[in-house]
A and B are shown apart, each in its own frame.
Chain A
Amino acid sequence: MSATKAVINGTEIKVKAGTTILEAARQAGFEVPTLCHHPELTPSGNCRMCVVEVEGSPRLVASCHTPLAQGMVIQTHSDKVLAARKAVVELLLTAHTGPCVNDSRASACELHKLAAELEVGPPRFQVQAPRFYPVENDSPYVRRDMSRCILCRRCVRACREVAKKGILSMAYRGFQSKVVFEADDPLNSEQCKDCGVCIEFCPTSALSKPVEEVA
């Protein structure tokens, strides 16, 4: 296997051909934050959290799905990159604030962790109508709170690639985009059962284990 040489943050590196910029950076000890990316899933590149600056490229590139090319000169933490990452978190939080902050389910939210790490304050953007969906508690296996979903598609990919079921899909468009089961139906326990893989892959509290109703 041929090797690819490049420079990341001034350090010369040599990695196996086909390695992504993200993997190469991590091997060299540079931590690039990710959100929609998961090592066990096909890269999607939709959240833009992992953007890096590549010399000669007119715009920032998503490192999770861009293979490292011979001679690339990369900055993973330049001002431009950090500003872009902060803006990404801000935009995601804009449609995603509210009760999350004082909800125990949200304590493990990766988006909130990234917001803290990148020192992102309250978002500057205002929305006229935040995305709101009633909580879906029909399934005995998965509780869905799609108002908290950030559309990273990790559950869609995990359902297809890890659980080998592929019953979740993306539907609608733009602000209306939503992860759906069948024709936006409630999860039925014939096709979705004994699994819960998507819950483990969800970075937010959009998917969780159902709680027993306290009588």
Chain B
Amino acid sequence: MVKKQKAKARDALLGMIKEQQDSQGHVSREAMEHLARSFSLPLGEVYGVATFYTFLSTKSQGRHVIRVCQSMPCHLKDSGQVVDWISQELCLEPGQTTPDGRFTLEVTNCIGACDQAPAMLIDDVVYGGLDPQKVAQILRSMD
């Protein structure tokens, strides 16, 4: 019985991490420590879940989060180059945030826009059929 209750609690972990992400913009170490205590889990378990999903972040993020898809169709359409274009335009590497806090660049798994490969998400908007001009134009249009 005790075991059953514990298993149920573990199921709720992802949802609560997601709540943190939505309300705070990232999952801080303090939040993970708090969750670990309330679920009686080692911190590593919570950290493991929080770092598994690309839509969860353990570091604070910029105003806009760019997520470049790296799954197979996008990969075959050279999504690596898309990352390079953005890196050059904004002078940052995947996982980093611009010093002015405007953009965070991430790579992510399939975003369901395979027909528009190579594709990326900025916040919740999908941009597909990317080329260097298009990428530059999109980035400049952001506040």
List residues of A whose CB falls within 8 A of some B CB.
Answer: 166-173, 180-184
Contact = CB atoms under 8 A, between A and B. Distances in A.
A166 B40 CA distance: 11
A180 B42 contact: no
Contact of A182 (B47, B51, B52, B54): B47
Given A171-B52, A172-B52, A173-B52, A184 B47 contact: yes
A169 B44 contact: yes
A169 B45 contact: yes
List 7 A-B pairs, minimum CB-CB distance, nearest first. Answer: A169-B44, A171-B48, A182-B43, A183-B47, A169-B48, A171-B51, A172-B51
Contacts of B47: 169, 171, 180, 182-184
Given A169-B47, A173-B54, A184-B47, 13 more contacts: A166-B42, A167-B42, A168-B44, A169-B42, A169-B44, A169-B45, A171-B44, A171-B47, A171-B48, A172-B48, A173-B51, A180-B47, A184-B51
Contact of A180 (B32, B48, B54): B48
Interface in B38-72: 42-45, 47-48, 51-54, 58
Contacts of A181: 44
A188 to B, nearest CB: 11
A131 to B, nearest CB: 16
A170 B44 CA distance: 7
A167 B45 CA distance: 9
Nearest to B45: A169
Interface of B: 29, 32, 42-45, 47-48, 51-54, 58
Contacts of B32: 183
Contacts of B29: 183
Nearest to A165: B42
27 contacts: A166-B42, A167-B44, A169-B45, A169-B48, A170-B48, A171-B44, A171-B47, A171-B48, A171-B51, A171-B52, A172-B48, A172-B52, A173-B51, A173-B52, A173-B53, A173-B54, A180-B44, A180-B47, A180-B48, A181-B44, A182-B42, A182-B44, A183-B43, A183-B44, A183-B47, A183-B58, A184-B47
A130 B79 CA distance: 21
A171 B46 CA distance: 9
Nearest to B49: A171
A171 B42 CA distance: 12
Contacts of A169: 42, 44-45, 47-48
A181 B48 CA distance: 10
A87 to B, nearest CB: 20
Contacts of B58: 183
Contacts of B51: 171-173, 184
Nearest to B44: A169
Nearest to A159: B42
A173 B109 CA distance: 11
A166 to B, nearest CB: 5
A171 B50 CA distance: 8
Contacts of B53: 173
A170 B51 CA distance: 10
